[in-house]
Structure 1
Amino acid sequence: MQSYTMTATRLDGYGTRMHCKAAELLADTDPAGRADAFNPAELLLASIAACMMKGIERVTPMLGFSLRGVTIHLTGERQDAPPRMTRIDYEILVDTDETDRRLELLHQNVRKYGTISNTIALAVPLNGTLMRLPSPVA
């Protein structure tokens, strides 16, 4: 069983500083919003993206999967009453020459072994695709 800890400290009515290990992050806690920090919904989406990216980094060596890069786009929908996320959609774009079957295998592994994505998927629909990054037009 693993345990994780972090500390959040209110800076003022506009921001909160998050500390974990040697890392630090500014969170948008301004009711009006601010452009220079992630708000709580964006932090949730970022956590899912980081989980998926970490899963890709963990599984590609085991699968012998070759890639040049990965981009993950997430979109979350929020309702006001009661306030909650109602769905989260993602698109994982992989720059690779691997076959479609191997891309499907990578996606299955990302979905199956993601601690954060599996936890969130129990609370809100989490749907998406993993596909090859389109080749640049010459």
Structure 2
Amino acid sequence: MNYHIQASSIVKQDATLHIKQSNIDFGTTSKTAETLPNPAELFLGSFASCVLKNVERFSTMMKFTYTKAIIEVNATRLENPPRMENILYNLTIYSNDKKLNKELLKKNIEKFGTIYNTVKLSCTISGTISTIENV
């Protein structure tokens, strides 16, 4: 597979990612540092997107149902050279399905996630999966 995205910016203004039919604004100036995602946050967003896409993918393959999944991602950035050092995620899946095997799901996410595998080549990743029963 090959991927293509485009991004644009205007001097002294912020930037936009153009991906398929979506436009995602992101910050490149100090005036929007508190309101728009920065490149590091977009990077972590890509990681989170990969995990959630694989939850959806493996729910079909592993034959479990869920109503919602939420992931929280935290990262440590080092300064010299600037890079991500540690990524910690907590994935919560809302499900009453007894067929949901959290250990196997985690193993599959770690083995088959494209972004996950790319990121783990450059930094440490650790995470947990928990479930909450639907009421």
TM-score with structure 1 length normalisation?
0.88
Match of 1:117?
116
Match of 1:106?
105
Q: Specify every segment of 5 or more residues in structure 2 that has no aligned partner in the other structure, as ranges.
A: none
TM-score with structure 2 length normalisation?
0.90
Give the Cα separation in 2 of the matches to 1:134 and 1:87: 30
User: 1:36 deviation in Å?
Assistant: 2.6
Say whether the 8 Å CA contact 2:76–2:86 is kept in structure 1: yes
- The structure-2 alpha-carbon separation of the partners of 1:6 and 1:102, relative to structure 1 and needing over 3 Å to count, comes to same
Regions of 4+ moved over 6 Å:
none
Could you report, residue by residue, the CA deviation over 1:51-104 in whole angstroms, capped at 9, with x for unpaired residues? Answer: 011111111011111112110000011112211111111000011123497121
Q: Specify every segment of 5 or more residues in structure 1 that has no aligned partner in the other structure, as ranges.
A: none
Match of 1:127?
126
Give the Cα separation in 1 of the matches to 2:65 and 2:100: 13
Give the Cα separation in 2 of the matches to 1:39 and 1:15: 10
- Tell me how large the CA RMSD over aligned residues is: 1.9
Match of 1:69?
68
Give the Cα separation in 2 of the matches to 1:83 and 1:105: 34
Say whether the 8 Å CA contact 1:66–1:98 is kept in structure 2: yes
Residue 44 of structure 1 aligns to a residue in which SS?
A: helix
Worse-matched range after superposition: 64-73 or 13-22: 13-22
Residue 101 of structure 2 aligns to a residue in which SS?
A: helix
Give the Cα separation in 2 of the matches to 1:40 and 1:73: 17
Give the Cα separation in 2 of the matches to 1:28 and 1:55: 28
Give the Cα separation in 1 of the matches to 2:107 and 2:28: 35
What is the count of residue pairs matched by the alignment? 135
Match of 1:60?
59
Residue 89 of structure 1 aligns to a residue in which SS?
A: strand
- The one-letter code sitting in structure 1 at the alignment partner of 2:120 is A
Give the Cα separation in 2 of the matches to 1:52 and 1:129: 12
